Structure 1
Amino acid sequence: MSGRLTANEVAERLGVELATVYAYASRGSLTRHAGPDGRSSAYDADEVELLARRARPRSTRRRPGAVDVVIGTTVSEIGDGWVRYRDHDLIDLVTWARFEDACQLLWTGDLAEPEPTPDPSDGSERDRLAVVAAVERATAALPSQAPVTARLVTGAAAASPWIPRATTTESSVLGASLVVEALIASLPLLGRAAPDGASVAGRLWPRVSEQAPTPARLRALDTTLVLLAEHELATSTLAVRVAASTRAKPAEAVMAGLGTASGPFHGRAAVRVHRRLAEGLGPSSADALGGFGHPVHEVGDPRFAPMLERVLAIASPRRREVIERYVATPPGAEPPNCDAALGALGFAAAGEPGITEAIFVIARTAGWLAHAFEEADEVPVRFRGRTLYRGPR
């Protein structure tokens, strides 16, 4: 679909009254353009079609200078209080799915079959071991106090030569799995290494915490990974798609997402929450940096409750009390979001502040690569912004 539609055509396509069309435009769900006569309204047909496919359009609380990017996708869909991965409701999915299941769903569109124990003679297992060795050699050269972002970027870069370019579904899944493996291997080992055949959560836990990887702790981490795996066109995901549009390889596209996620308003948002909890303090502010509110989920972040439930189940009584006191919504504040629960996980696991960034980006790599594979089917380098020059003439 392309071109412009009149307000009446939009109302017919959406099945709403004209007044509702104008309300969508005023809230930012549709962009109004001047019609051919200069007086009537016209609307972009592709934008209308995207809106029509949503269960309910969400309003956008724009800040001055905000830039909206709208693209078509089949990877995920979000609205106020709900998230779907390829038409599967996330809150239903997380009741049973492992992170591996979520990855398979996002990367292929199908839910995973139970994975067999890796065979050391299998080529994919040899590739995994080669990637781990390359990443461990590269990260060994970093200072012991190197920030998490530096370790993750180094790991992705070291693994890149071993990761095949995505040309088939099979090569896409293999390459994506190796990127996730590289990010896990880039983190220092704090406890006993996971045994062969361990899940992603099982391999990641000894790099998150010195605590023993009990079933409850692995469930808490696995639930968190599933809930954070994808969230539509977040800033880091847009960066990954832009990189993928240039036909960057999977690891390089992920590096674009890593750089974007390293900001305090995105992948590091939970770090501040973790630090406040570790200091026994309440929120410094009841906003996004404190783990409260969300620009889409105005009724409440649906990922928060299932994540926090798992976290509280593994927290010591003292840490549980600190967490519950922190997330009790301050008067007049918006509901807590997934960053509050992720910070609580880092605290409950007695991890170092900063480890929540690693958990976030390893989880989000699932969605990043799903978008990168989808972008590979689009026209190359289709993202081209324009500037409005404001300097001296």
Structure 2
Amino acid sequence: MLFALAALLALVGAGNDPDHAARLQVVAFCDLVIALITMVAPWRPSRPNAPALIGLAGFAVLGLSTWSFGGVAAGTGPFLVMLYAWSALHFPRWILLAYAVPATLAYLLPLIITGQSPLVLSSAAILMPVTLSVSLLIEAQARHLRDDRERLARVERWRSAMMNTLAHDVRSPLSGVQIVLDELREDATGVAADMLDVALRQAARIHRLADALLDVQRIDSSGRLTLDRREYPALELVQEALGYLRPDEPIRVEIDPSARLYVDKERFEQILINFLTNALRYGRPPVEVRIARDGDVDRVEVRDHGPGVPEELRDTLFGQFAVGGDQGVGLGLWIVRQLARAHGGEALAESRDPGVAMVATFPARQPS
């Protein structure tokens, strides 16, 4: 684009300066050739510095341009700086230093050939050091940004591998534990049966945590989740989800028995259980579950009567790996928001007096 712009300006100059039109047309042709070569050349990632050769050709054309304008360097200086800035963004500093000699010659030789005064020639003593200094600053900043990006990429790869490994390593032995617990539960009675029920619920919870880790990886890698949405009785969905919690938890359910939800059942349970566990952990009883239709949206609300969301957490409440000291909300609410958005809805927190209501919205299924 830089050389295409230079070609366009050379053509404009040819129209405004008939005496030098032929020379300027040659300059425009050279700029266009360089632009085309830059676009179609098979640059190889194994030779990242090869495009620096374009800079050398550019300096030669800049010198030709100055000569074509009769020694007027008003257009050469800015393009020289732009060419150096482009180089600083893409190449190491040794190339910028190596450019110093051809760039200086490209600027000075046309001035000498056209017989410019020593005062004009001395402008190189200001332009070239300033141009080189600015380009070195740009190169340093660009290098730091590239290093930071590569470091973040390494951290992300490590995090992704760790989460995948952890999730899979948890799921495999946990399946064996659940099978054993199920076998024991069939013949258990009394207190032993109650204890095995608790163990089975907690094993199911760990299994869901492993699934949540895999969900994070799927969301990060593809940006979307595949859902199996169907229409379910809302009250039945909530009661099944409550089965994963202790039966004596202070939870009140206020749902119209005729209400229905169009959701992915497993994802909905993840959302609701996350809301409920947070409300029970950080809020105060009673915890209330409500589902209501608002236009073409179903609102699932879990409200507690605690102190509400701390001020320092409000901006990051649904963020990935959000923390806030002892009241850290962790990863769960970020997953909740991604699951709600995958349904076409949203997850948010609404203040109540007292407490807070965690809300997930789901598009209502329209009648066919």
Q: What TM-score do the two structures reach when normalised by structure 2?
A: 0.25
Task: Tell me the TM-score normalized by structure 1.
Answer: 0.23
Taking CA–CA contacts closer than 8 Å with sequence separation of 6 or more, which of the two structures ends up with the larger relative contact order? 1
